[in-house]
Structure 1
Amino acid sequence: MRIGIAGIAIESSTFSPHRTGMADFRVTRGADLLARYTWTEDSTLDVEWVPLLHAVSLPGGAVLKDVYDELKAEILDRIGQAGPLDGLLLDIHGAMSVVGMLDAEADLAQAVRAAVGPDVLISASMDLHGNVSYDFVQHLDLVTCYRMAPHEDAWQTKERAARNLVARLHEGGKPHLAWVQVPVLLPGEKTSTRIEPAKSLYGQIEEIEAMEGILDASIWVGYAWADEPRCQAAVVVMGDDAELVQRQATKLANDYWRVRSEFAFVAPTGSLDHCIREGLASDARPFFISDSGDNPTAGGAGDVSWTLRVLRAYKSHTIIYASIVDPESVAIAKGGGEVELMVGGKIDSGPAGPVPLSGTVVKVHEDPVGGTIVVVKSGGLHVIITERRKPYHHVKDFTDLDLDPAHADLTVVKIGYLEPELYNLANGWLLALTPGGVDQDLLRLGHKQIVRPLYPFDPDMATPDLTARLI
């Protein structure tokens, strides 16, 4: 069997002024594309994997239209040159926003379907923070998404999508697919599978998947920081027993709806000032504070200076701030010595403009993701400034810069829920409700194009009909 692999994967905040260009994507083709997936070397699958094009970017603002058009056009062109295909794996995120479009994934899926024809099976692998509209899912034959947030099962999900596709091609026939959207839109920090009710909701999936006549079951939380009609939760169950897949999808959707008011933040929350005071007063170390409103791995610009402006008042304490993107400040500081900078607020200046920072450059480091990185020490405050947007998820991200959260009074990170390494390291953690393109307070962002009524925007809305639709 010949199965193509393609995709454009990014999570995009329409509330961030950042724009995602071609330079933001890591584009792979040929052997480099196949090397992303260990299972392409599994000879027992008896598959010729055909690499088309895959593009993935750190979350950010909406993708420039010409960039999307160029990537899509190359995928379609490579499909045309690939020769006959039996199947296609579509490896995407599901929350890509493109300037001037309201459902970029539906546009991509429709174009891919038109290119491969009606008989080629398409299997999509997605992030659970993706959006699943009818316009999108009608072009697919199989679809699955992560079952964990944080996404510790990302690569297992891609493999499941591939193996489901291979199995279905061997068995023949297309599965029934039952789809339903749930009019709930919540941020990922309120829907972590580490805690209830998401833990139990997602805990049902293995049991459903094990039923005779069921192939796969998925729950999407949706993406809260895009203002598009498709943004809401969704459920898909697929298999050979049409009545069973529809019944189980309907049940999962109603279960989600019933617990909508029980979702809570994965960590104690508060204003930035409150979190700093609590963290400094605590004896727990290491102590982390999430600068959640400008989380670059959720789509934040990464240069909102609101938090840095506040942290300058706490220079008598040892505080690590990770991080803020500002290539202009990096260009000045990489020469070392004493510097006076105006940092941040140059991409997303809404919450606060550039902030003055005087200090000593104590580290210059070259990083494959962040480019040139400098650490500026101002009193006890250590500010990490990056040339390019970079997440701080691993202990090595800090130790590469000669910084150690275990020996700091506070480590403040542009992040939402702590990723596993930092989560396991932390003895104290607070989630600061800071402003930015991925503000946790959805009601103050100003959504205008979401479909209403929608919880929590309309907390008293009537119970919707959540009967799943067979596709």
Structure 2
Amino acid sequence: MTFTKPVIAIAGLACETSTFTPSRTLAPFFHPQRGAECIEINPFLHPSTLLGRAASWHGALTGHALPGGIVTRDAFEELASEITTRLSAIVAANGDSIDGLWYDIHGAMVVEDMDDCEAVLLDRIRKVIGPDTIVSASMDLHGNVSRRLAHQTDLITCYRMAPHEDTMETKERACRNLVDVLTLRPKGKQRPFKAWLPLPILLPGEQTSTRLEPAKHIYAAVPGVEATEGVLDSAIWVGYAWADERRNQAVVVVTGWNEEACKTGAEHLGRLFWHAHADFKFVAPTGTLGECLDAALESIPTDRPYFISDSGDNPTAGGSGDVTWGLTQLIARKELKDSNLNVIYASVPGPEAVKKAVEAGVGATITVTAGAEIDNIHAGPITLTGRVHSIKHGDPHARIEVVLQVGSVYAILTDLRKPYHKEADFTDLDLQPREADIVVVKIGYLEPELYDMAKGWMLALTPGGVDQNLERLGHKLIKRPMWPFDKLFDMPPDLRARFIAASNEPLPASPVDD
């Protein structure tokens, strides 16, 4: 008997989008991968792997943009059209049908004048691949799972770690689950059950890191539910707090072949989350930037390097990256004007400033203006006079990076915005973060390399498009009541799982959970 490999296509768009950031995300920002590139960037699908050999994989288009502002409608239409065109070609080349689709998304993308854009894109994809194709989605745990998205997928999973050290593991799990459903499903079973449980909780990632309680024990329960007989996958989404859409909230989804096991597992995870909803705290001590700097200066030289998260403009959470407020406050500190301290700031975009520094060269003293070209709500452009410490060309995000020494502060200026997560991001610029007294980074929770390096750390509650103080952002569209926007509930939330209709069946109307 000859085994025929299932035919599986790959498609999706990913961008974590703040609706409170004035920047806009354009099509090129997604750095699209097409055809074989979709397989090459995912080592677990290479032909040398078991999973790669288990199916016939066909890339359509995937794109992953740096988090930022709302995706323009033109950008979405351009990329969505190419996805459906390429999928049509894949379907036609395989006898007018394919068996599966891996839907590679983030889950918190927002498109101009569009609600629930990941579901909209999948609706369009379904028109090409048909209702019988099994769809497996992989997502960030800061994504959002509406009823509509849960309906159009057959399998859906997300990261189990924040920071996201299990990104590739999650994508591989989504693909493995898909292959298993296509090749090993029980006789007579066509699609798994999907138990979906929304929770009226919307918290920032900096209060829900799986390094700490209560998220630590909540997410630790996920593999146990998944190991239950009859369950294929279990997942918890924290949701995305910096977008104002009706779908944004925490959600649990459990999929599998046993209806009761899925229901029991989803409700167990839902209860764990809700019972702990008032226990979530920030991952580090918090304060104003001034208070954080006071603490850092007092700690020298004992706790060195001391990290401060300039959290309100974090470019990996959706901030525009060019808010100058933090650097302005830092430069103004009298203790840092002229001293033997070593302070690093990352970073502010300033194309003209970078150009001027490159023309002047390392060692030159220049005066430049940078920042606030996009987000000038909280502070205007900053003018700096300093010595060019280093220049680097060719970064995939920043393009060109310049370090300008202003007193004790080594300020990183970039051609385009860039996140600074790894030690090499600094050492490549002739900066030694381990030897610095203070490192101020536009970030929320520290990524693993920085976290391990830090001898002290505070989270500065600074302004920007991803302000940690959610209540001062002005959400208007999210469902209410919603914790922490509402502290009192007239009645406790409904912690019963809802079963979502199979993707090839109509989705019944719901006045509550749409």
Range into which the TM-score falls when normalised by the shorter chain: over 0.9
After TM superposition, the structure 1 stretch with the greater mean CA deviation from structure 2, 386-395 or 245-254, is 245-254
Letter in 2 for 1:375: V
Residue 248 of structure 1 corresponds to which residue in structure 2? Answer: 265
Q: Within the alignment, does 1:354 sit opposite 2:374 as a pair?
A: no
Task: Report the secondary structure of 2:244's partner residue.
Answer: coil
Residue 167 of structure 1 corresponds to which residue in structure 2? Answer: 180
Letter in 1 for 2:496: T
Structure 2 residue runs without a partner (length 5+): 1-5, 92-96, 501-514
Residue 417 of structure 1 corresponds to which residue in structure 2? Answer: 445
**How far apart are the structure 1 equivalents of 2:494 and 2:206?**
27
Residue 324 of structure 1 corresponds to which residue in structure 2? Answer: 348
Deviation at 1:51, TM superposition (A): 0.7
Task: Report the secondary structure of 1:334's partner residue.
Answer: helix
Q: Within the alignment, does 1:55 sit opposite 2:82 as a pair?
A: no
Letter in 2 for 1:331: K
After TM superposition, the structure 1 stretch with the greater mean CA deviation from structure 2, 23-32 or 372-381, is 23-32
Residue 288 of structure 1 corresponds to which residue in structure 2? Answer: 307
**How far apart are the structure 2 equivalents of 1:108 and 1:290?**
35
Letter in 2 for 1:293: G
Q: Within the alignment, does 1:203 sit opposite 2:220 as a pair?
A: yes
**How far apart are the structure 1 equivalents of 2:60 and 2:369?**
44
Q: Within the alignment, does 1:267 sit opposite 2:284 as a pair?
A: yes
**How far apart are the structure 2 equivalents of 1:426 and 1:18?**
31
Residue 467 of structure 1 corresponds to which residue in structure 2? Answer: 496
Residue 11 of structure 2 corresponds to which residue in structure 1? Answer: 6
**How far apart are the structure 1 equivalents of 2:278 and 2:379?**
33
Deviation at 1:339, TM superposition (A): 1.5
Task: Report the secondary structure of 1:138's partner residue.
Answer: helix
**How far apart are the structure 2 equivalents of 1:409 and 1:202?**
35
Letter in 2 for 1:90: Y
2:325 maps to which of 281, 296, 306: 306
1:297 maps to which of 300, 316, 337: 316
Residue 378 of structure 1 corresponds to which residue in structure 2? Answer: 406
Q: Within the alignment, does 1:39 sit opposite 2:52 as a pair?
A: no
Does the 8 Å CA contact 2:310/2:440 hold for their aligned counterparts? yes
1:92-144 CA deviation, whole Å, 9 max, x = no partner?
Answer: 00000111112111111211122211110000000000000111111000000
After TM superposition, the structure 1 stretch with the greater mean CA deviation from structure 2, 325-334 or 348-357, is 325-334
1:155 maps to which of 163, 168, 183: 168
Normalised by the length of structure 2, the TM-score is: 0.90
**How far apart are the structure 2 equivalents of 1:250 and 1:209?**
13
**How far apart are the structure 2 equivalents of 1:155 and 1:401?**
29
**How far apart are the structure 2 equivalents of 1:355 and 1:79?**
47
**How far apart are the structure 2 equivalents of 1:374 and 1:37?**
32
**How far apart are the structure 2 equivalents of 1:419 and 1:58?**
16
Q: Within the alignment, does 1:438 sit opposite 2:459 as a pair?
A: no
Residue 111 of structure 2 corresponds to which residue in structure 1? Answer: 98
Q: Within the alignment, does 1:341 sit opposite 2:365 as a pair?
A: no
Structure 1 residue runs without a partner (length 5+): none
Deviation at 1:43, TM superposition (A): 4.6
Letter in 2 for 1:161: A
Does the 8 Å CA contact 2:350/2:369 hold for their aligned counterparts? no
**How far apart are the structure 2 equivalents of 1:37 and 1:365?**
29
Task: Report the secondary structure of 1:402's partner residue.
Answer: coil
Letter in 1 for 2:8: I
Residue 234 of structure 1 corresponds to which residue in structure 2? Answer: 251
1:76 maps to which of 84, 90, 97: 84
After TM superposition, the structure 1 stretch with the greater mean CA deviation from structure 2, 309-318 or 177-186, is 309-318
Deviation at 1:39, TM superposition (A): 2.0
Deviation at 1:301, TM superposition (A): 0.4
**How far apart are the structure 2 equivalents of 1:22 and 1:330?**
25
Deviation at 1:59, TM superposition (A): 0.5
After TM superposition, the structure 1 stretch with the greater mean CA deviation from structure 2, 183-192 or 364-373, is 364-373
Task: Report the secondary structure of 1:82's partner residue.
Answer: helix
After TM superposition, the structure 1 stretch with the greater mean CA deviation from structure 2, 40-49 or 138-147, is 40-49
Deviation at 1:46, TM superposition (A): 2.5
Letter in 2 for 1:295: N
Deviation at 1:254, TM superposition (A): 2.1
Normalised by the length of structure 1, the TM-score is: 0.98
Does the 8 Å CA contact 2:228/2:261 hold for their aligned counterparts? no
Letter in 2 for 1:326: G
**How far apart are the structure 2 equivalents of 1:447 and 1:206?**
34
Task: Report the secondary structure of 1:60's partner residue.
Answer: coil
**How far apart are the structure 2 equivalents of 1:373 and 1:248?**
49
**How far apart are the structure 1 equivalents of 2:54 and 2:376?**
53
1:61-89 CA deviation, whole Å, 9 max, x = no partner?
Answer: 11111100111111111111112210000
CA radius of gyration, larger in: 2
Residue 223 of structure 1 corresponds to which residue in structure 2? Answer: 240
**How far apart are the structure 2 equivalents of 1:30 and 1:165?**
19
**How far apart are the structure 2 equivalents of 1:6 and 1:36?**
13
Task: Report the secondary structure of 2:36's partner residue.
Answer: helix
Deviation at 1:237, TM superposition (A): 0.3
Does the 8 Å CA contact 2:321/2:417 hold for their aligned counterparts? yes
**How far apart are the structure 2 equivalents of 1:64 and 1:198?**
34
Residue 388 of structure 1 corresponds to which residue in structure 2? Answer: 416
Residue 455 of structure 1 corresponds to which residue in structure 2? Answer: 483
Letter in 2 for 1:140: T
1:110 maps to which of 123, 136, 143: 123
Between the aligned residues of both structures, percent identity stands at: 51
After TM superposition, the structure 1 stretch with the greater mean CA deviation from structure 2, 331-340 or 139-148, is 331-340
1:365 maps to which of 368, 382, 392: 392
Letter in 1 for 2:140: D
**How far apart are the structure 2 equivalents of 1:180 and 1:329?**
50
Does the 8 Å CA contact 2:346/2:420 hold for their aligned counterparts? yes
Residue 428 of structure 2 corresponds to which residue in structure 1? Answer: 400
* RMSD, matched Cα: 1.0
**How far apart are the structure 2 equivalents of 1:171 and 1:58?**
37
Letter in 1 for 2:42: Y
**How far apart are the structure 1 equivalents of 2:176 and 2:50?**
13
1:178-237 CA deviation, whole Å, 9 max, x = no partner?
Answer: 011101000000000000000000000111111111111000000000011011100000
